[in-house]
Amino acid sequence: MPPPVPAAGIRLADLAPLAGATVQGDGDTIVNRVATLERAGPGTIAFLANPRYRAQLATTRAAAVIVRPADAGATALPCLVAADPYAAYAKVAAALHPPEPPVPGADPSARVDASATVAASASLGAGVVVGAGATIGERVAVGPLCVVGAGATLADDVVLHAAVTLYPRTVIGARTIVHSGAVLGADGFGMAEEGGRWLKIPQIGRVVIGADVEIGANTTIDRGAIDDTIVEDDVKLDNQIQIGHNCVIGAHTAIAGCVGIAGSTRIGRNCRIGGAAMISGHLDIPDGTVISGSTGVYDSIREPGVYTSAFPALPHRDWRRVMSEVRRLRELAARVDALERAHEAAKDGR
């Protein structure tokens, strides 16, 4: 089902400056929602970012399209021409499909501690609990069944979707979005072993989230054992990510779903981490590093680059054959080493 259509559309000429684009064709064309090239219809605007879909420019039923300059001649439709069509599409989509502003006020079932500070413009949904000394800023939207722990701070324009849990003293920066089921500030996995038993170590740090961060559904971020767990500005976290205690995630880094990051790991700025990557604790990853999906990282990375350890999928019969050879590598390496030593000894004996 397509997204709701805005009541009034926007002229292409008015969208162009918002998208950092120029108009080719009829700038008075009205569009009211975004669509794919394949499924577009009247009133929609589509985009071409991947060359493999270029042929669809000839068949799309969109009212207008967003293209790069090299593709502008491939369609007779009105166009927004931009160097980066995908980024332009993101801006157009935001203009055509803005989020509904929160309705100020608290649902009657919300429970707000008397010592909490809640801005008059904030919205608290059904069943929300706000703890002692918490601070909720202007235009914050707290969805149904959220828990905002004691002493937590939500800066202006934060959005918590339904059933988010913020443990005490968690800090959320301005304009950050946290999706349903996320848990921020739970105990880190800190244990000491003595006499065959585990001793729980109190986790006294916080979770501190920067501005313009997005945190996916059911993602969990543990609070620090002593110092804080920190997620810097403009970090984008997908669903079902686990971030251990005392980690630091640098600004503008993007992490895909199901990634696990053990405690006290420092990930630099502008990194890209693919889905299901597993990162051990107490290591460093430098700025600008790309880690492929399903990659295991067990030591610090010293130089930025693209790192991959996942084994590509093979037909099962081929995989068994390859794995049988892999199991022989240690034996083969020992045989090669012995041959090299024998060869060197023979040369010395001449």
Q: What pLDDT is stored for residue 2 in this prediction? A: 46
Place of tokens 């068949």: 59
Query: What φ, ψ does residue 191 adopt, rounded to 5°?
Result: -140, 145
Q: What pLDDT is stored for residue 312 in this prediction? A: 86
CA 315 to chain centre: 32
Q: What pLDDT is stored for residue 1 in this prediction? A: 42
pTM, rounded to two decimals: 0.91
Under-70 pLDDT residues of the chain: 1-7, 350
At 249, which helix (H) or strand (E)? Answer: strand 248-249
Q: What pLDDT is stored for residue 345 in this prediction? A: 85
Residues annotated catalytic, as ranges: 245
Tell me how far apart the alpha carbons of residues 164 and 174 are, in angstroms, rounded to a whole number.
Answer: 17
Strands 30-31 and 33-34: unpaired
Predicted confidence (pLDDT) per residue in 97-111, tens digit: 998 888 999 999 999
Q: What pLDDT is stored for residue 281 in this prediction? A: 97
